[in-house]
Amino acid sequence: MMFKSAAFFALIPALTALALPHPQPKPARAPGHISIPLRKREVGSGLGRRGNGNSSSSPSISNGTIDLFDWQETRWVGYIDVGTPPTTFTINFDTGSGTLFLPGLDCGNCTGHHQWDPKTSSTAKNTGKNTTSAYADGSQVSGAVWTDDIYLGGYKIQNQTILVADTYTEDFGFASDPSDGLLGLGFPASSVNYTDSAFFNLVNQSGSGLPEPVFAFYLSNQGSELTIGGTNKDLYTGNITYAPVTGAVKQIWEVEVDKLTLNNQTILSNFSGIVDSGTTAIRANETLVSAFYQSINGTSLGGGSFVAPCDQLAEQQISFIIQGKEITMSFESLNLGTFSAPNGTLYCLGGVVGDAGLDVDTWILGDVFMKNVYTIFDAGKARVGFADLATSVDSL
């Protein structure tokens, strides 16, 4: 699933209407200028370069670590290599969908993105078919279906289906979106023709050297990482609490949430939570979300987004209890950007967003949620694990 932060900028007219000054996305950066913070990398990680559509002589071997770079703390991207010789692309890794797409040479609306020319890869094969991949936020991509070898965290995945997009809706073309394409980490049933999700493809390929059929996310404002083939024990502490993926046909990483508490009071019990790295916010039934912001003097900006006085938002303790484990949202994670009203009140753009398409029993636990806990996606046992962030890295 994809709910991207372009919406943040779409809110600016709404703020003008409320006579509130324009928000400062954090960290403040010059408008229109996107800089990917090239943080210092650990020795041995081979993924330091920005995908530039150029061939490199060898794949980015990193033994399972994909460094993620955050973009205005609302979206995290990293690199994969594609084809022979390998070409590096900047990718949004999305647990809420299953297809891999890259912009093709004929793509529209993708200015600023690196396009893939399958003819430059000796292992690329055209299936002769076209397909479309549509996302829950209404965005979609269409194009030819190819297969090629790709490298995910250094692991080679043979014969991976790649949608080479020629039609690319504007939301994906958002000029300063740092990602070229998207790699779905959902189950095969969420991919092109329900068969070919990259990570599951890798798990199936004997001789890949993958230690475990597991990947894990650590999302923060620095040092973020997607680990392929296991967990990174430096990033979490204590036991892992696992929740089985629900549903007869597994598509995405949906688990049962025991309870949601607000300031230690139970608001909701026994509902479904979709752990979705491809969505920025926590998204929930708009009626519920609206009531929450009303209780803290919040204001709707339309489209499900709300602002609230930061001091009041900061007092709210929102916790999800999953398999008995309490996961509490930090104020820092709930604040997607601050700005001052003319009367001096400091407002925060809330990380919990209303969605008119969701019933009360389905929550999308996006990046705002994932920043608060180490998340482990176990493809072998179809379960999601949650562990406390290591205090040494807990810099939220």
Ligand X SMILES: *[C@@H]1O[C@H](CO)[C@@H](O)[C@H](O)[C@H]1NC(C)=O
Terminal CA-CA length for the chain: 25
Tell me if 108 contacts ligand X by CB under 6 A: yes
Single residue of 345, 382, 394, 396 touching ligand X by CB under 6 A? 345
**94 among known catalytic residues:** yes
Nearer Cβ to ligand X (93/172)? 172
Q: What span, in angstroms and rounded, lies between the C-alpha atoms of 160 and 152?
A: 11
Nearer Cβ to ligand X (46/96)? 46
Upstream peptide bond of 244 is cis (omega within 30 degrees of 0): no
Tell me if 120 contacts ligand X by CB under 6 A: no
Tell me if 239 contacts ligand X by CB under 6 A: yes
Tell me if 318 contacts ligand X by CB under 6 A: no
Altogether, the residues listed in the chain come to a count of: 396
Which of the residues 70, 81, 177, 276 is marked catalytic?
276
Interface size with ligand X, residues (CB under 6 A):
47
26, 322 in Cβ contact below 8 A?
A: no
Nearer Cβ to ligand X (208/317)? 317
Tell me if 159 contacts ligand X by CB under 6 A: yes
Tell me if 169 contacts ligand X by CB under 6 A: yes
Q: DSSP 3-state assignment of 204? A: helix
Tell me if 74 contacts ligand X by CB under 6 A: no
Q: What span, in angstroms and rounded, lies between the C-alpha atoms of 1 and 313?
A: 27
Adjacent-strand bridge partners of 134? 140
Tell me if 285 contacts ligand X by CB under 6 A: yes
The string of DSSP letters for 314-376 reads HT--EEEEETTEEEEPPHHHHEEEEEE-TTS-EEEEESEEEETT--TTEEEE-HHHHTTSEEE
**Under the rule (CB under 6 A), what is the footprint of ligand X?**
19-20, 44, 52-54, 61, 63, 108-109, 128-131, 144-145, 147, 159, 161, 167-170, 188, 192-193, 195-196, 200-201, 204, 238-239, 263-264, 285-287, 297, 317, 341, 343, 345, 356, 358-360
Query: Catalytic residues, which ones?
Result: 94, 276
